[in-house]
Chain A
Amino acid sequence: MPWIPRGLRHGIVTSGYPRRPDGYGPGFFGHVEVASVRSDAPGMPVRSDATEALAAAAAECPTGAITLDGGVVRLDRGRCILCGRCVALAPSTFRADPGFETSGLGRAALVVPATDDDETALAEARTRLAARVRGLRRSIHVRHVDAGSDGAEEWEVAALTNPVYDVQRLGVFFTASPKHADVLLVTGVGTAGMEAPLRQTYDLMPEPKVVVAAGVDAASGGMVHEGYAARGGVGGLVPVDVYVPGSPPSPFGILHGILAAVGILGSRRHVGAEAPKDAAAAP
């Protein structure tokens, strides 16, 4: 049996996340952080970009993720494909950060910074979801459906079963049958061809069920957006509970979304402090 000692040679490579923070962060461009108008947000620089620079960042954004409303700059992470143009054009407002805990409860939660109304709605949504998934905390079965991804999302979902992420240690399993599934994990822009198969899969799942949409394609269609065959995200095809931004989202990001959906982790708006904030992530 030559393989067993072979496997042992590599030692333990598995992450302790979420019990312990994972150091995989430096060099990884996880999300774009936006400086608040109020400079009281800890760790954020005081914004000093010229209005023209902000206007250029909004105009150059390939997916229209940046809106300027008076003095308030908002970024929709459900559209942001992490190209880094805004970071180059208005560096005191936009910052490329590592960190992957960016999933949000509902589509509006991906827009940062949030308004006070959003915060209230989010708290209510979290309570409702927690009540719904109360029975799902021991072992979770996930049914993945590709609804028109670019293929990268499937790599990142499949990576969850490699020994680094090893989601089985958390009681998370991928299942072939929707009838055994608690979580529907959807990737892709929502294509015309997948509309019916996706809906059928959802309908076959027993209650309680939660839907996680992974990636900006699933949130908004991303660069593909809408057309004769693309539906601009899966939000209109199945009722999505948790959105995971990213193009593609990282394996940790997807894991965060799944755990948040079933109430193991609170879905946060802002990134947890555990990821090292190295400047190395800047594009």
Chain B
Amino acid sequence: MRDATRMLWSPAHVQGADAEEAGGVAAFPSTRQRVADGARFCGLFEASRDEASRVEGSPVEGSPLEGSPVEGSREAGAAALLSVVSTKGALLVEELRLDVRKAQSYESLTPAIPAAGWYERRLRDLFGIEPLGHPRLDPLAFPVPAGSAAPRGEGGDPTLPMTPDLTPLPAHVQGEGVFTLPYGPVRSGVFEAVEVLIETSGEDIAHLRTRIFYKHRGIEARFCGLDVADGALLAERVEGVASVAHAVAFSQAIEQIGGIIVPFEAQLVRVVHAELERVANHLDTMVRHTEAAGQAVAYAVLSHHKERVQRLRARLCGSRFGRGVVVPGGVTRPLRLRPSEVLAAVTPLERQIGEDIRRLMDTPSFVDRLRKTGVLAQGDARRFAVVGPVGRASGQPEDVRSSRPYGAYQRLGQRIVEAHDEGDALARQRVRIAEIAGAFHLVRQAVDLLDELGEPQSWRVGVPSVTGRSIGWAEAPHGELLYLVEAAQGRLVQVTQRSASFHNLAAYPAAFPKDIFTDVAFIEASFGLSMAGAAG
């Protein structure tokens, strides 16, 4: 089997090019071609201006990367962009270098690849890099006030406090009687801060936009200069409800750079924590559905189950969110319960959750609120390359646990969740129900194997002073999570995280046009997005 996890994007780039040399040729030609040929667009990111993380050497054997190295052709301090696409179980990276002496701009990818729209807006806000020909460049990640430099770009200083420009956005839909209803960022209830702008003529939703910058913490800038162990602690706090997935994806990037082999037992412990995290997150979306539907008993029953899962997680590691366990090189501690104790806790939990969810899905007044609500058509899901349970409910089956298996997933039997094609909130609910069962199945396998293998020599191997760049990934509860990591002498030079929530939010408005106000709570819950991960 080809080991796709040995992927380094330096020094072998897939067809890197200088913006100035590329005159006449559209930026990112091979990305455009691959996406046209059916590859999935995974994102557009900044690369570090620092050359320290670049290492000499030839492409790693078996690397999915092709093309000739362009080492040394980039001037120090020049900005570069990286586009990432996924095809046939591998990630392909294309680099575009920008000349700092000229205007920092390139030809926008968005007209050809709609999924790139949010990435280009984010890069413009944070790094001041202009995508020429972008159809709608509203501020997204951080509305930089007029006359100020982008906080992380040329002339910007990410340590100086900035105040965002709070000017309202112009309306998208024009017409008689159409008005914009702003909702948030202080929501009615216990929710993460986000502003939703609903353009409407009364009841029907004509257009909907989300503004995520309220929560933007600039957390990625905080990675610079940390050592890799502190980096894992920060990664856990990027998206608190998916702490384990973030720590795993970040740690795997470091382990790829350092060529570190994590003890198999430690990989199994990671699986147990990650899969319980998935169960908790999927239960959370169902709790929010029942709350929106006014199903008081179902709400009480399911929120009790979610609390039991959180308490089980605390019994396994001391943290209700699985924090402080996953570190580069392995895990800090084994499971605190014996395998038989884990099974004794998991078995009744799984059975009771299953029974209560079946009861819920037999309740017509609940199911009717989800059916045909918030339909994300398959065409839209494909155009926006939607990932995770939302994608699987709209005909996009990819799950990176099986398409690019990492860690212990390479050796555990997985129940593949069938993709649905209805694309409504009910299909998303059904995908999550199947994933809960699959997650418990993986937990039982991992625990059985841990029982068989016994205590390993070590749960954690030492991490040398790593230098290099790589991409780590994981299937978080929300979908594919990517970490682009550059390190030099054991210090982080640049880290960019791409949560599934950021990626999927771009497709969110496409699920609304046939719906009315009262559906908003269901659509929001069924997308199950984490605003902290999306806002960064």
Contact = CB atoms under 8 A, between A and B. Distances in A.
A162 B323 contact: no
A146 B193 contact: yes
Interface residues on A, range: 35 or more
A157 B192 CA distance: 11
Nearest to A165: B307
Given A146-B192, A248-B321, A224 B237 contact: yes
B241 A174 contact: no
Contact of A3 (B213, B297, B317): B297
Nearest to A145: B186
Contact of A159 (B163, B186, B307, B323): B307
Interface stretch (B50-58, B432-440, B527-535): B527-535
Contacts of A26: 315
A201 interface: yes
Nearest to A280: B336
Interface residues of B, number: 71
Contacts of A281: 318
Question: B-side binding surface: helix, strand, loop or mixed?
Answer: loop
Interface stretch (A44-52, A227-235, A259-267): A227-235
B219 interface: yes
A82 B484 CA distance: 27
Contacts of A227: 158-159, 161, 217-218, 221-222
Given A4-B297, A6-B297, A223-B222, A162 B307 contact: yes
Chain A binding surface, main DSSP class: loop
A176 B186 CA distance: 9
A81 B237 CA distance: 10
Contacts of B300: 7, 162-163
Given A151-B532, A228-B159, A283-B318, A176 B189 contact: yes
Contacts of A157: 190
B75 interface: no
A56 interface: no
Contacts of A200: 186
B69 interface: no
B469 interface: no
Interface string A144-155: 111111111111
Given A224-B217, A227-B158, A154 B233 contact: no
A181 to B, nearest CB: 11
B306 interface: yes
A151 B318 contact: no
B195 to A, nearest CB: 9
Nearest to A7: B297
Nearest to B362: A2
Nearest to B160: A228
Contacts of B218: 224, 227-230
Contact of B319 (A29, A62, A146, A197): A29
B262 interface: no
A189 B185 CA distance: 15
A262 to B, nearest CB: 18
A24 interface: yes
Nearest to B235: A223
A191 interface: yes
Contacts of A192: 142, 161-164, 216
A72 interface: no
Interface string A186-227: 001101111111101100000000000000010000111111
Nearest to A153: B240
B295 to A, nearest CB: 7
B288 to A, nearest CB: 9
A27 interface: yes
B297 A228 contact: no
Contacts of A276: none
B234 A223 contact: yes
Interface in B212-231: 213-219, 221-222, 230
A197 B186 contact: yes
A88 B526 CA distance: 42
B238 interface: yes
Interface in B154-172: 156-164, 166
A250 B186 contact: no
Given A155-B284, A157-B190, A228-B221, A250 B320 contact: yes
Nearest to A217: B237
Nearest to A152: B240
A223 B237 contact: yes
B190 A149 contact: no
B239 interface: yes
B162 A81 contact: no
B518 to A, nearest CB: 16
B414 interface: no
B307 A149 contact: no
A164 interface: yes
Contacts of B158: 227-228
A36 interface: no
B214 A197 contact: yes
B532 A150 contact: yes
Contacts of B338: none
Contacts of A198: 186
Contacts of A3: 295, 297-298, 359, 363
B241 A189 contact: no
A46 to B, nearest CB: 25
A13 interface: yes
A118 to B, nearest CB: 29
Contacts of A102: none
Contacts of A68: none
Listed residue (B193, B319, B336) with the most chain A CB atoms within 10 angstroms of its CB? B193
A147 B369 CA distance: 31
B339 interface: no
A7 to B, nearest CB: 4
Interface in A17-35: 24, 26-29
A199 B43 CA distance: 36
B189 A194 contact: no
A196 B162 CA distance: 13
Interface in B302-324: 303-304, 306-307, 310-311, 314-315, 317-321, 323-324
A10 B164 contact: no
Given A29-B319, A150-B240, A152-B321, A24 B311 contact: yes
Interface string B45-78: 0000000000000000000000000000000000
Contacts of B213: 193
A7 B233 contact: no
**In the complex, which of the residues A81, A154, A164 has the most CB atoms of chain B within 10 Å of its own CB atom?**
A154
Interface string A230-258: 11000000000000000110100000000
A192 B161 CA distance: 8
B215 A146 contact: yes
Given A145-B193, A174-B189, A174-B190, 12 more contacts: A29-B314, A62-B230, A84-B332, A145-B186, A155-B241, A159-B310, A163-B300, A176-B188, A194-B215, A229-B216, A230-B219, A250-B320
9 contacts: A2-B363, A3-B363, A28-B318, A159-B307, A174-B190, A191-B217, A223-B230, A228-B152, A250-B320
Q: Give the top 6 A-B pairs by smallest Cβ distance, nearest first.
A: A152-B240, A150-B240, A176-B188, A162-B303, A193-B214, A29-B318
